[in-house]
Chains A and B, each alone.
Chain A
Amino acid sequence: MSSATLPVRISSIDRRVALRWARDNGVYVALAVLLIYNIFFTPRFMTLENLNVQLVLATRVIVVALGMAMVIGTAGIDLSVGAVMALSGALLVQFSGLPAVLAIVLALLIGGLVGVLNGFLVGVVGIQPIVATLAFLFAGRSLAQLLLVGRNPSIQDQTILSIGSGKIFGISGLVIAAAVAVSLVALIMRRTTFGRQLLAVGDNARASFLSGVPVRRTLIGVYVLSGVLAAWAGVMDTASITSANALSSGLNYELFAITAVVVGGTPLSGGRVRVVGTVAAAILMQLLSSTLIFHSATDAISQMVTAVVIVVAVYIQRVRSQA
């Protein structure tokens, strides 16, 4: 070996280590940088009140993104989540005669049912996830529209409304609602057999099957969770805007969720799910767009910046396939 090649090799290893570190921690660094920037350059941004507002605005994406992260952990994708949110709001209106808790439970169950359908198409029939879940992206929103025809879409029930506007010990109901979802998903991923099997299926489905992992059941389960979480986000959204809206509720949320998952460091190739990273990324994307708004940037500029963040995140992910 010639001595000239040595420094090159060392620096390429350094680079790989650096990239891997950036992949695992990049989202936290970006979040810290953004907050520090705002301390100095954005007046009235770093107030407790504004930060609370920002957090509340991020809650729905957080909840949807957690379900998406688990689906992506199986090397899948769920495009139906935004439509499920809209459907869930319409269902709350539909069930307005029932007690609030029952209406919410029914909405969540129907979200889970959509997941059963998606999971069946992916796990049993063997359709690619992107196509299988695309079907309900269209069907779900239309169904929500049909349910709301000739109905008053506003929500009167105080229990439901309190999720959107209530506070416990000064903490917004939406933040609590999101925290419940985060704890649930963290528990699943850290402590359950299902969570481990989900990652195994994502990393190598054939090896999972030959190791006795119930691959189909796991896939159906993960889409059910995604559907339930999307329905829960739909309840939160409807409660906060105090009425169901089939056209705008959850619109493009599948894309926001995928963005949060990817920026949070979860690889699209499956086998890994980053719960805290996903939450941090959802908050990062929210703070980023409001920072730009505070600086009077237009929506167009804001979306361009989002695009850059996604490209950087995906670039950093590349290290995984090389490692």
Chain B
Amino acid sequence: MSTTTVDTASPVLEARGISKSFPGVKALIDVDLKVRAGEVHALIGENGAGKSTLIKVLTGVYHHDAGELLHKGKLVSFAGPRAAQNMGISTIYQELDLVPTQSASRNLYLGREPRNRLGLIDFAQMSRDAEALLRDFQIHADVDVPLTTLGLGTQQMISVARSVALDANVVIMDEPTSSLEPREVESLFRIIDRLRADGVAILYVSHRLDELYRICDTVTVLRDGRLVHNGPMADLPRVELVSTMLGRDLESTPHRTRSAAPAADERETMLELRGVNWRNRLHDISLTVSKGEVVGLGGLLGAGRTEVGMAVLGAEAPDSGTVMIDGSPIHRVSPGAAIEAGVALLPEDRKLEGIFPHLSIRDNIAIASLPRLSRLGLVSDKRIDEIVDTFMARLHVRATGPSQKVGTLSGGNQQKVLLARWLCLNPKVLVLDEPTRGIDVGAKFEVRSTIDDLAKQGLAVLLISSETEELVDQSDRIVVLKDGRVVSVLEADRISEDDLIEAIAAVPAEQAGDNRE
């Protein structure tokens, strides 16, 4: 390992005081970053922390508003992604930028194919070169078949090999392992070690703590567009890393006084998941939510929280396991059937999965209850208007009237309209996926007190949130997920931010001991 050179080597790529704003958002504020040769540098932060923006600035996709970029000590300004590539800054994206229908050799030499004397592509030479290059990386793949016939992991490694063949001195990897099998991850790590030995600087973005501690030397943590931590990876304990990354919510929201939470022996199970497996995202998930109870679902990004919600709603068919509502399994896997059985789900991405921007508030609220509000397929506008008026008033939706288009409302009011859509169904189980993300403080408070009221009225609430403070404040129990598994359940007196962060950061039992190779 090159720990001795890390401190002395001058950075290959350095960002000084970078700021970048978009209309209405300050994505980066005065951020510094130094990536040195022979160093694997972790860049971490939650959604919206500014990681992607920083990567795009470093690779010439965006131009920063303030600050400077230095490459090998020289001030640089990238006219575009191409300019950054020419300087040896290479990016491996989550979505590969290879041509999937073409062979490995063609991809490796795209745009710089070896030529014969007639100026035509020398395919034989190209195949030989490609084979030599891949052998060098211990990648065993046929270089002449289309990439689509190779595994995703192999494709990713070919992408890495290409960047090395292009004489990259900085390789940026954006969640490279998110779609890889464990065996492929091992191969990728071998290649990363090899690049490090060759003196390449690597910027590594991932949410998987185990991976970060295994291969990274240095870590930079971003939060809300600002640099909040920078230092050697080994000096930052897991718990501190998680708390630094998630941050503490400083605004004071009233602490919940939950006397209504049912005692353990009085719980009346409303939602139950039994051994749910789904692809490689959920593994043997079992949990229960009782009448009048708020169960928090914690974990880092990609831990499988949203997937649990989608399984409850029947939006994805689990490979095995059952979802029971009020004691009986849902007869058919579809949101329609789950809604009929009493499930309601407020989705994580309000814009993409929730609202109908060009439809009125009235239509947005009524959409899920149309089957109940109509007879023989004919809608009763009178009943719809009654319900819409009731719920707009109850949830304090601020709008010019029920005919206003939802796309023109503020985020908080859109969220209230979505809540109204679900509450007017009078559900038994309510799944809330990041209910207060991206809404202002006032609306946040209203949404949170609504959740309290609902639980008091006997609803079973499953609350998914990235905000530790929200989970701790609102939940009667917290189920912590990690890599698609339930790793711990926090009950009554163990519910605190410290306990939660510790549970999220905990090293899985089987991996304890071999933390770093």
Question: What is the interface of chain A, defined by CB distance below 8 A to chain B?
Answer: 191-194, 196-197, 199-200, 203-204, 206-214, 271-272, 320, 323
Contact A209 B315 (CB under 8 A): yes
User: Which residue among A210, A271, A320 has the maximum number of chain B CB atoms within 10 Å of its CB?
Assistant: A210
Q: Which residue of A lies closest to B335 (CB)?
A: A212
B442 at the interface (CB under 8 A from A): no
In the complex, what's the smallest C-beta–C-beta distance from B500 to chain A, in angstroms?
A: 28
Question: Can you report 30 residue pairs joining A to B where beta carbons are below 8 Å apart?
Answer: A191-B378, A192-B374, A192-B377, A193-B374, A193-B377, A193-B378, A196-B363, A196-B366, A196-B379, A199-B359, A200-B363, A200-B367, A203-B356, A203-B357, A204-B353, A204-B357, A206-B352, A207-B355, A208-B356, A209-B315, A210-B313, A211-B335, A211-B421, A212-B336, A212-B340, A212-B368, A213-B336, A271-B359, A320-B358, A323-B408
Q: Which residue of A lies closest to B347 (CB)?
A: A210
Contact B368 A211 (CB under 8 A): yes
Encode B298-337 as 1/0 by CB contact (under 8 A) with A. Answer: 0000000000000001010000000000000000001110
Q: Lowest 8 A-B CB distances belong to which pairs? A: A212-B339, A212-B336, A203-B356, A271-B358, A211-B368, A193-B374, A193-B370, A212-B335
CB within 8 A of B379: which of A191, A203, A213, A271? A191
CB within 8 A of A206: which of B338, B353, B367, B408? B353
Complex: A197 Cα to B367 Cα, angstroms: 7
In the complex, what's the smallest C-beta–C-beta distance from B408 to chain A, in angstroms?
A: 8
Residues of A within 8 A of B335 (CB): 209-212
Contact B356 A193 (CB under 8 A): no
Given A203-B357, A203-B358, A204-B355, A193–B371 Cβ distance below 8 Å? yes
Complex: A48 Cα to B174 Cα, angstroms: 71
Q: Which residue of B lies closest to A269 (CB)?
A: B358
Contact A192 B378 (CB under 8 A): yes
Contact B353 A199 (CB under 8 A): no
Residues of B within 8 A of A212 (CB): 334-336, 338-340, 368, 371
Contact B379 A192 (CB under 8 A): yes
B345 at the interface (CB under 8 A from A): yes
Residues of B within 8 A of A199 (CB): 356, 359, 363
Q: Main SS of the interface on chain A?
A: helix
Q: Which residue of B lies closest to A199 (CB)?
A: B359
Complex: A207 Cα to B407 Cα, angstroms: 14
Complex: A212 Cα to B367 Cα, angstroms: 9
Instruction: Give the residues from 365 to 400 in chain B that come closer than 8 angstroms, CB to CB, to chain A.
Output: 366-368, 370-371, 374, 377-379
Complex: A156 Cα to B378 Cα, angstroms: 40
Q: Which residue of B lies closest to A208 (CB)?
A: B367
Q: A199-B356, A204-B352 are in contact. List 11 more A-B contacts (CB 8 A).
A: A193-B378, A196-B379, A200-B356, A200-B363, A203-B356, A207-B354, A207-B355, A208-B356, A209-B315, A271-B358, A271-B359
Residues of B within 8 A of A210 (CB): 313, 315, 335, 345, 347, 353-354
Given A191-B379, A206-B353, A214–B367 Cβ distance below 8 Å? no
Residues of A within 8 A of B374 (CB): 192-193
Contact B370 A196 (CB under 8 A): yes
In the complex, what's the smallest C-beta–C-beta distance from B507 to chain A, in angstroms?
A: 36
Residues of A within 8 A of B313 (CB): 210
Residues of B within 8 A of A196 (CB): 363, 366-367, 370, 379
Complex: A212 Cα to B342 Cα, angstroms: 12
Residues of A within 8 A of B371 (CB): 193, 212
Complex: A193 Cα to B378 Cα, angstroms: 6
Complex: A272 Cα to B347 Cα, angstroms: 24
Complex: A311 Cα to B459 Cα, angstroms: 53
User: Which residue among A199, A211, A271 has the maximum number of chain B CB atoms within 10 Å of its CB?
Assistant: A211
In the complex, what's the smallest C-beta–C-beta distance from A100 to chain B, in angstroms?
A: 29
Complex: A4 Cα to B363 Cα, angstroms: 41
Complex: A272 Cα to B360 Cα, angstroms: 11
Residues of B within 8 A of A204 (CB): 352-353, 355-357
Complex: A159 Cα to B359 Cα, angstroms: 44
Q: Which residue of A lies closest to B310 (CB)?
A: A210
Encode B38-76 as 1/0 by CB contact (under 8 A) with A. Answer: 000000000000000000000000000000000000000
In the complex, what's the smallest C-beta–C-beta distance from B357 to chain A, in angstroms?
A: 7
Complex: A195 Cα to B364 Cα, angstroms: 14
Given A193-B371, A200-B367, A214-B336, A207–B379 Cβ distance below 8 Å? no
Residues of B within 8 A of A194 (CB): 377
In the complex, what's the smallest C-beta–C-beta distance from B447 to chain A, in angstroms?
A: 19
Complex: A200 Cα to B377 Cα, angstroms: 16
Contact A272 B358 (CB under 8 A): yes
Contact B358 A207 (CB under 8 A): no
Q: Which residue of A lies closest to B336 (CB)?
A: A212
Residues of B within 8 A of A272 (CB): 358
Residues of B within 8 A of A323 (CB): 407-408
Residues of A within 8 A of B367 (CB): 196-197, 200, 208, 211, 213
Complex: A200 Cα to B335 Cα, angstroms: 15
Q: Which residue of B lies closest to A188 (CB)?
A: B377
Complex: A139 Cα to B240 Cα, angstroms: 66
